[in-house]
Amino acid sequence: MNTSFSSKDPSTLSNYTKFDVTDGALDMDIDFDAKVVHGRITYQLVAREDTKSIVLDTSHLKIRRAAVGEVEVDYKLHDRKEPLGSALEIFYDFKQTARTTVTIDYTTTDKCTALQFLDKEVTDGKKAPYLFSQCQAIHARSMVPCFDTPSVKSTYVLSATSPYKVLMSGRFIEKKGDKYFFEQPVPIPSYLLTVASGDIVGAPIGPRSTVYSEPVGIKAAQWEFEADMEHFLEIAEKLVFEYEWGTYDALVLPASFPYGGMENPNITFLTPTLICKDRSNVSVVAHELAHSWSGNLVTSKNWEHFWLNEGWTVYLERRIIEAITYADAKRKGKANPEQFAAQMRSFLAIIGWNDLENSVKAFGPELSQYTRLVLELGSADPDDSFSSVPYEKGSSLLVHIEEVLGGKKVFDPFIPHYFKKYRYKSVDTKDFLDTLYEFFADKKDKLDKIDWDTWLYGEGMPPKPKFDTTLADECFKLANEWKAATKSGDYDKFSPKDVESFEANQSVVLLDTLSSFENQNDFHWADHAKALEAMDKAYPIYSDTQNAEIKSRFYMLQVTGKSKKYCKLLGEWLGEVGRMKFVRPGYAILNEVDHDLAVEYFTKWENTYHPICRALVKKDLGLS
């Protein structure tokens, strides 16, 4: 087995290996008129060796002052190196083991990729401007000078001044005038630093949880999450160990938020596409909650080992949903609830497998290196490698390990052991493997049968698991009936009754399966426009639904068939959502059908997207 893993972070320009950061204090003054943040960051540092300077990551920041202790010192902002930004070098004679305080005053600029300022006219309530941050992967350096690497973790005191409510990635302490104070006693990396400010209100969704949003959406958000939040917490604690962040709150952001969720400590950020009025997408909350252990407590050392964050999180997320399903089935008196819960876990894995296949296809042969679990990023932007690969390939590996070892009962004791061993630390794949082999020393022969090189370094799809398809078989059957009907032309037999009993995820599997027929044995939906028109008439619920997972899939299936009606509907819908899970594939499929139309819609909506999303779609469309 190849174990030549790199622990040095290639995505930072800093000299982070020369220092230990013990504490940080970040103070922000939010200027909505100028759309900038005036900040001061103070680090308590201990040098690991004698050195003449400290080098921090920055990106498009204006540095106003640097000091060591109370004394101003010289500094140099080095030339920019894309995509990693500009190294800020602060000159001082640092002595080994000496504790030092370094303070930098700075201002963000309009090129800041971590912050998005929204005018009040584009918010839901239209009553106040809005600001939110998104620092993962390497965008924190555009919001604050820092060791912008997951290898460095620190406790923080956080504060921000704003005329509007402020939320940050810590426990709320107090408000004095327009200034809000928070503390984060658990060490966190720079990418988990967070700020949001705007017309924000909260509502309880559990004994230790509050959901926040603009006032116009607070009731819907509260209803969507209040039934499950505390149950998720309790189940996760049984799987791993006690939740130690105090509160678990969530903020539903405006539409331009580029991700499904972001696991910012104490205040998870969520996309508004989760609010579909049927609680069918709450698994995203289970995912972000699981990050409280995998990613936040135990963090990958760098983005080349990102699968350790996301693979573990998907694994835990599906274990949480499995346990919820079991409890519900038992309460309702369902026969064999344990089997049903296991079927649900497998069903969710099938959906994930479809997502993985789509990601592998999207990368294609030119970018196939991004389909590996352990990456070699070099100086590339980690955002370029973002996909479902670390999530789904990583979780598939953990499920494979579980099965090889003998099942959940055998594997489960390893979960709390791993997370306790590396709590507050950053790890790489070698750390994971060493701990796995140490814990299961008596089962080394079984672990050795795993093809580690293929799983960790192999490109493309991993070995396919044996899924329990019980809950998916009905979806597969209906999809195959549609495919068969393209030969007979008999579409009258299909009706809304086909899918009226489907759970939301069954509709997802149906649509994924229909889409998977494209390019299969020379089958093309563009050759069967009448079938897609019949599907549109038979299942109007799919175009009318508020569930973005279903709507996006139905729209893109229709566009695959070159439906002019749905090219327009998809293009217009892409102006309503900012979540990259939908935006990037949406433009990609439009681009395949009509490049000029894709560019036209992107140009129309470009300024509504988050900077991260905007930059990646530009690359996707060949505009960057």
Q: Are residues 288 and 322 in the same domain?
A: no
Q: Are residues 416 and 311 in the same domain?
A: yes
**Has residue 416 got a pLDDT over 70?**
yes
If you count them, how many residues does the chain have? 624
**What confidence tier does 1 reach under pLDDT thresholds 50, 70, 90?**
low
Would you state the structure tokens that stand for residue 259, as one six-digit string? 């991700």
Asked, for residue 584, whether it belongs to a domain, the answer is yes
380 to 9, 68, 140, 251: CA distances (angstroms): 12, 33, 17, 31
The answer to whether the annotation marks 579 as part of a ligand binding site is yes
Model pLDDT, residue 105? 98
The answer to whether the annotation marks 535 as part of a ligand binding site is no
CATH code of the domain containing 275: 3.30.2010.30
The answer to whether the annotation marks 177 as part of a ligand binding site is no
**Has residue 169 got a pLDDT over 90?**
yes
Asked, for residue 76, whether it belongs to a domain, the answer is yes
Q: Are residues 304 and 406 in the same domain?
A: yes
Asked, for residue 267, whether it belongs to a domain, the answer is yes
Q: How far apart are CA 612 and CA 134, in angstroms?
A: 9
The answer to whether the annotation marks 1 as part of a ligand binding site is no
Region of residue 519 (left: phi > 0; alpha: psi -120 to 50; beta: else): left
Last residue of a domain, one of 195, 230, 248: 195
**Has residue 4 got a pLDDT over 70?**
no
**What confidence tier does 103 reach under pLDDT thresholds 50, 70, 90?**
very high
**Has residue 448 got a pLDDT over 70?**
yes
Q: Are residues 592 and 451 in the same domain?
A: no
Q: Does residue 163 have a cis peptide bond before it, meaning omega lies within 30 degrees of 0? A: no
The answer to whether the annotation marks 38 as part of a ligand binding site is no
**Has residue 360 got a pLDDT over 90?**
yes
Q: Report which of 421, 430, 419, 438 is spatially closest to residue 456, judged by C-alpha positions.
A: 430
Q: Are residues 485 and 452 in the same domain?
A: no
- Residue 393 DSSP one-character state: I
Last residue of a domain, one of 166, 195, 224: 195
**What confidence tier does 499 reach under pLDDT thresholds 50, 70, 90?**
very high
Q: In which order are the strands placed within the sheet that holds 51-58?
A: 51-58, 86-94, 75-77
**Has residue 370 got a pLDDT over 90?**
yes
Q: Are residues 184 and 208 in the same domain?
A: no
> What is the DSSP annotation of 461-501?
--PPP----TTTHHHHHHHHHHHHHHHH---TT--GGGTTT
Q: Are residues 319 and 416 in the same domain?
A: yes
The answer to whether the annotation marks 170 as part of a ligand binding site is no
Question: In the chain, how many domains are there?
Answer: 4
The answer to whether the annotation marks 595 as part of a ligand binding site is no
Q: Are residues 106 and 123 in the same domain?
A: yes
Residue pLDDT, tens place only, 26-80: 999 999 999 999 999 999 999 999 999 999 999 999 999 999 999 999 999 999 9
Q: Report which of 566, 583, 568, 576 is spatially closest to residue 621, judged by C-alpha positions.
A: 583
**Has residue 450 got a pLDDT over 90?**
yes
Query: Mean pLDDT for the chain?
Result: 96
- Mean pLDDT of the 539-556 span: 96
The answer to whether the annotation marks 60 as part of a ligand binding site is no
Name the H helices within 297-336: 307-331
Residues with a known catalytic role = 288, 391
Q: How far apart are CA 68 and CA 457, in angstroms?
A: 44
Start-to-end C-alpha separation, the chain: 40
CATH code of the domain containing 549: 1.25.40.320
Model pLDDT, residue 122? 87
Model pLDDT, residue 2? 58
Rg, C-alpha atoms of the chain:
25
Other beta carbons within 10 Å of 298: 23
Asked, for residue 551, whether it belongs to a domain, the answer is yes
Q: How far apart are CA 196 and CA 124, in angstroms?
A: 15
The answer to whether the annotation marks 310 as part of a ligand binding site is yes
CATH code of the domain containing 115: 2.60.40.1730
Residue pLDDT, tens place only, 220-241: 999 999 999 999 999 999 999 9
Domain that holds residue 514: 469-621
Asked, for residue 278, whether it belongs to a domain, the answer is yes
Share of residues in the chain with pLDDT > 90 (%): 96
Residue pLDDT, tens place only, 13-23: 999 999 999 99
Q: Are residues 119 and 83 in the same domain?
A: yes
CATH code of the domain containing 352: 1.10.390.10
> Residue 391: phi, psi to the nearest 5?
-70, -60
Model pLDDT, residue 7? 76
Residue pLDDT, tens place only, 234-277: 999 999 999 999 999 999 999 999 999 999 999 999 999 999 98
Q: How far apart are CA 33 and CA 204, in angstroms?
A: 32
The answer to whether the annotation marks 524 as part of a ligand binding site is no
Q: Are residues 268 and 353 in the same domain?
A: no
- Mean pLDDT of the 560-574 span: 96
Q: Are residues 407 and 478 in the same domain?
A: no
Last residue of a domain, one of 292, 316, 336: 292
Asked, for residue 4, whether it belongs to a domain, the answer is no
Q: Report which of 344, 350, 275, 356 is spatially closest to residue 549, judged by C-alpha positions.
A: 275
Q: Are residues 245 and 318 in the same domain?
A: no
The answer to whether the annotation marks 276 as part of a ligand binding site is no
pTM of structure: 0.93
The answer to whether the annotation marks 258 as part of a ligand binding site is yes
Q: How far apart are CA 414 and CA 364, in angstroms?
A: 36
| Torsion sign across C-alpha atoms 413, 415, 421, 424 | negative
Asked, for residue 578, whether it belongs to a domain, the answer is yes
Model pLDDT, residue 5? 62
